[in-house]
Structure 1
Amino acid sequence: MQFSGQIPPSLGNLNQLQWLDLAFNNFLCELPASIGTLSSLERLDVFCCDFSSQIPPSLGNLTQLGYLKLSQNNFSGTNEA
């Protein structure tokens, strides 16, 4: 199944979510900052989703994150490590 459109900010309410795989979708929007509130998230894969924005600084809040794949998107700007 392929999704398109926008990811609702309410996704950030899924505080028990551990894996989020959105790879190979056609979002053509921003990766919502609310993803940074997913405190249990261990794996985030947004490979090849056509996101076009800066990577949300809120991703730095994901202290349980052990796997992150952001490649093949249209992210812009710079991010501090």
Structure 2
Amino acid sequence: MYRYRHVVVDEAQDLNPAHWKMLRTMVRLGPDDIFLVGDTHQRIYDNHVSLGSLGVNIRGRSSRLTLCYRSTREILRR
């Protein structure tokens, strides 16, 4: 039996293969099993992994966000 029905991961770009394997074992494979948020341009570690090879299927399930709500116009002008 799996411990969780869903897993939410923030800063996913900084996880290594061991982290991904652990997360995969925590929740049953399904349509809403793992929700990931990450920005590969903000990666602080050199962890380049193929999520599919670790049992995390994002093919056809991912979205690229093109609008930043973090930075106001005032901040961007500086």
The TM-score normalised by the length of structure 2 is 0.36
Bigger fraction of residues in helix: 2
Taking structure 1 as the reference length, the TM-score comes to 0.35
